[in-house]
C-alpha cells in the first residue's frame, strides 16, 4: 500500500515537469526511516528495471536536486550529536545555519555548477572570485568546540548538506583556514583525502600530520607561513611534497596590501589549476586512529587495540600507538593489496571499473587471490551516495575482505 502511494505521488510530481526518478532519489536520500527508504528503493528499482547505470546517470545529471535561486541555510533545529567510534555524517538540514553562513556569487544560477570554498572561521586572506563560499564556525557546536574528530564530522555533514542546497562542482571543493584553525583544516583533509581538491592553511599546520603524508596525494596543499619565518610549516610541507609535487609553500607578508599584491597570484593559480583527480589505479593510505579511513574506491578499518588522547591545538583527538597502512593497486580485475595493522577493508566498484562478467580477484599480502563476484546494486549505490553526496564518485557494489594476522 505504501509503495503504491509512493508511485502515485511520484507520478503527480512528474506531471508538473519534474523528473519522476529524480524525485524518488531525493525522497530516498532525505528519508531517515529505513522502512520508508526501502519503499522508495523498490519504486526506483521498478522504474529503472533494476539498472544501476540509469540511477548513476540521473544523479550525475542532477535530476534529484531542487536548487533554489536564493539558497539559504536553516537555523534553530536540533543540533546533531556525533559518535567518536563511528565517524558518520549526521542530518543537519534543520540547523546548518547555526554553524555556517552561505555566500553565493552575484547572479548565482542554480543550473550551473560552481566551485565550493569551505572556510573555517574568519580570515583576512582574499577570496577567489566566482565561488560559493561557506564560512563555518566549529566553535558553535558543543562537541566540535573541543574535539577535532567532531569538528571533522561537522564539516563533512555540512558538505553533504550543501550538495542539496547549492549546485557544487564536486571535483572543485576547497578547504581553507587561518592560524589555529589551519591545524584543524589539515587534520580534516588528511583523514578524508578524496573530499577536497585543495587545502589552504595560513600561519598554521599540524606537525604530527606529516606521518599521514601519503594521504595528501590527491589534494593540492597551499601553506602560507608567518612573516618572521616558520620552520614547522616548511617541515610539514616538505613531507607532503614527497607524495604530491603540486603542494605549494609560500611566505606571508605583514600588511593587507602586500597580501593582495604578493599572495593573490599564488592563491589564484592554486585555485584555478586545482581539480581533484579521477579514479586512481593506485591508492596508499595511512591511518593514525581507530576509525576507518577511505579514499575513492577503498576503505580500510585499522587493527587498533588501544589509543591515547592527544592535543591538536585547542582540540583533542585519539591516536593509536602505531599507524595502520594500506597500499592497493588495480590491474584489470586483479587488486593487489599490502597491509600493516589492518583488520579489514572494503573495495567499492564503480560501473565500468571492472569487467562485471568476471570476478574481482584480490591478493592480500602476497597470498593466493580471493575471488568475489560483482553485483551492481541500486541499494549499494544510493546508500554510499547518501553518505558522501559526491556526484563524481558513485559506486554500486561493496566487496569486504578481512585480513588475517597482520
DSSP 162-222: HHHHS-EEEEEEEEEEETHHHHHHHHHHHHSTTS-SEEEEES---GGGGGGGGGGGSSEEE
Which stretch of DSSP H or E encloses residue 76?
none
Which of 318, 317, 293, 290 lies closest to 148, judged by CA? 317
Question: Cα 135–137–159 angle (5° rounding)?
Answer: 60
- What is the rounded CA–CA span in Å between residue 155 and residue 384? 18
Any idea which of 122-126, 174-178, 355-359 has the lowest mean pLDDT? 122-126
Whose cell is 580477484? That residue is 361
Residue 284 has pLDDT above 90, yes or no: yes
User: Is 307 within a domain?
Assistant: yes
- What is the rounded CA–CA span in Å between residue 193 and residue 153? 14
* Domain final residue, candidates 225, 247, 273: 273
Which stretch of DSSP H or E encloses residue 60?
helix 52-60
Q: Are 297 and 252 members of one domain?
A: no
Q: Are 36 and 14 members of one domain?
A: yes
- What is the rounded CA–CA span in Å between residue 86 and residue 82? 8
**Nearby residues of 47 by Cβ (< 8 Å), 6 or more positions away:** 10, 20, 21, 24
Q: Are 307 and 354 members of one domain?
A: yes
Whose cell is 524518488? That residue is 24
Which of 78, 77, 117 lies closest to 101, judged by CA? 117
Q: Are 173 and 268 members of one domain?
A: yes
Q: Hey, is 31 helix, strand or coil?
A: coil
> How many domains does the structure of the chain reveal?
3
User: Is 90 within a domain?
Assistant: no
Q: Are 36 and 121 members of one domain?
A: no
Q: What percent of the chain has pLDDT over 90?
A: 74
Q: Hey, is 324 helix, strand or coil?
A: strand
Q: Are 312 and 396 members of one domain?
A: yes
Q: Are 192 and 303 members of one domain?
A: no
Cell readout for 399 is 566487496
CA 148 to chain centre: 16
pTM for the whole thing?
Answer: 0.93
**39-50: per-residue pLDDT in tens?**
999 999 999 999
User: Is 207 within a domain?
Assistant: yes
Q: Are 261 and 287 members of one domain?
A: no
Q: Are 262 and 295 members of one domain?
A: no
Predicted confidence band of residue 292 (pLDDT cuts 50, 70, 90): very high
Q: Are 56 and 102 members of one domain?
A: no
User: Is 375 within a domain?
Assistant: yes
Q: Are 287 and 183 members of one domain?
A: no
Give the CA count within 13 Å in the CB-facing half-sphere of 52.
21
Average model confidence (pLDDT) across the chain: 90
Predicted confidence band of residue 141 (pLDDT cuts 50, 70, 90): very high
Domain containing 27 equals 2-60
* Domain final residue, candidates 235, 254, 273: 273
User: Is 70 within a domain?
Assistant: no
pLDDT number for residue 272: 92
Contacts 24+ apart (CB under 8 A), 300-304: 300/324, 300/326, 300/339, 300/342, 300/344, 300/345, 300/346, 301/342, 301/343, 301/344, 301/345, 302/341, 302/342, 302/343, 303/341, 303/342, 303/343, 303/403, 304/341
What is the helix, strand, coil percentage profile of the chain, to 5?
35, 25, 40
DSSP 283: E
Q: Are 260 and 295 members of one domain?
A: no
- What is the rounded CA–CA span in Å between residue 189 and residue 175? 8
**8-53: per-residue pLDDT in tens?**
554 544 433 358 999 999 999 999 899 999 999 999 999 999 999 9
Question: Cα 170–202–97 angle (5° rounding)?
Answer: 50
Amino acid at each position: 500500500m505504501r509503495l503504491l502511494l509512493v508511485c502515485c505521488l511520484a507520478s503527480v510530481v512528474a506531471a508538473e515537469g519534474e523528473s519522476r526518478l529524480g524525485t524518488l532519489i531525493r525522497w530516498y536520500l532525505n528519508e531517515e526511516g529505513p522502512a520508508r527508504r526501502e519503499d522508495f528503493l523498490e519504486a526506483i528499482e521498478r522504474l529503472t528495471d533494476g539498472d544501476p547505470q540509469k540511477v548513476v546517470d540521473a544523479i550525475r545529471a542532477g535530476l534529484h536536486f531542487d536548487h533554489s535561486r536564493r539558497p539559504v541555510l536553516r537555523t534553530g533545529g536540533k543540533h546533531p550529536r556525533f559518535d567518536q567510534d563511528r565517524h558518520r555524517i549526521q542530518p543537519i538540514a534543520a540547523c546548518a545555519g547555526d554553524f555556517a553562513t552561505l555566500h553565493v556569487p552575484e547572479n548565482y544560477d542554480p543550473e550551473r555548477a560552481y566551485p565550493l570554498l569551505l572556510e573555517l572561521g574568519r580570515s583576512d586572506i582574499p577570496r577567489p572570485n566566482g565561488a560559493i563560499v561557506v564560512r563555518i564556525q566549529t566553535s558553535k557546536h558543543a562537541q566540535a568546540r573541543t574535539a577535532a574528530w567532531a569538528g571533522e564530522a561537522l564539516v563533512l555533514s555540512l558538505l553533504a548538506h550543501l550538495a542539496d542546497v547549492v549546485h557544487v562542482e564536486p571535483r572543485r571543493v576547497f578547504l581553507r583556514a587561518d592560524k589555529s584553525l589551519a591545524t584543524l583544516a589539515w587534520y580534516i583533509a588528511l583523514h578524508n583525502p578524496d573530499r577536497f581538491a585543495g587545502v589552504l592553511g595560513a600561519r598554521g599546520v599540524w606537525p604530527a600530520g606529516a606521518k599521514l603524508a601519503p594521504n595528501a596525494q590527491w589534494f593540492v596543499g597551499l601553506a602560507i607561513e608567518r612573516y618572521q619565518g616558520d620552520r614547522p610549516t616548511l617541515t610539514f610541507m616538505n613531507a607532503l611534497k614527497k607524495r604530491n609535487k603540486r603542494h605549494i609553500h609560500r611566505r606571508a607578508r605583514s600588511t593587507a596590501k602586500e597580501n593582495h599584491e604578493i599572495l593573490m597570484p599564488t592563491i589564484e593559480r592554486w585555485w584555478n589549476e586545482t581539480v581533484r583527480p579521477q579514479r586512481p589505479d593506485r591508492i596508499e593510505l595511512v591511518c593514525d586512529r581507530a576509525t576507518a579511513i577511505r579514499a575513492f574506491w577503498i576503505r580500510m578499518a585499522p587493527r587498533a587495540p588501544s589509543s591515547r588522547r592527544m592535543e591538536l591545538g585547542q582540540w583533542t583527538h585519539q591516536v593509536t600507538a602505531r599507524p595502520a597502512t594500506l597500499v592497493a593497486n588495480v590491474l584489470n580485475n586483479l587488486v593487489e593489496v599490502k597491509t600493516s595493522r589492518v583488520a579489514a577493508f572494503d573495495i567499492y566498484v564503480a560501473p565500468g571499473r571492472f569487467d562485471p562478467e568476471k570476478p574481482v580477484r584480490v591478493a592480500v599480502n602476497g597470498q593466493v587471490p580471493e575471488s568475489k563476484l560483482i553485483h551492481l546494486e541500486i541499494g549499494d549505490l544510493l546508500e554510499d551516495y547518501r553518505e558522501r553526496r559526491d556526484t563524481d564518485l558513485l559506486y554500486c557494489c561493496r566487496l569486504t575482505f578481512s585480513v588475517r594476522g597482520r
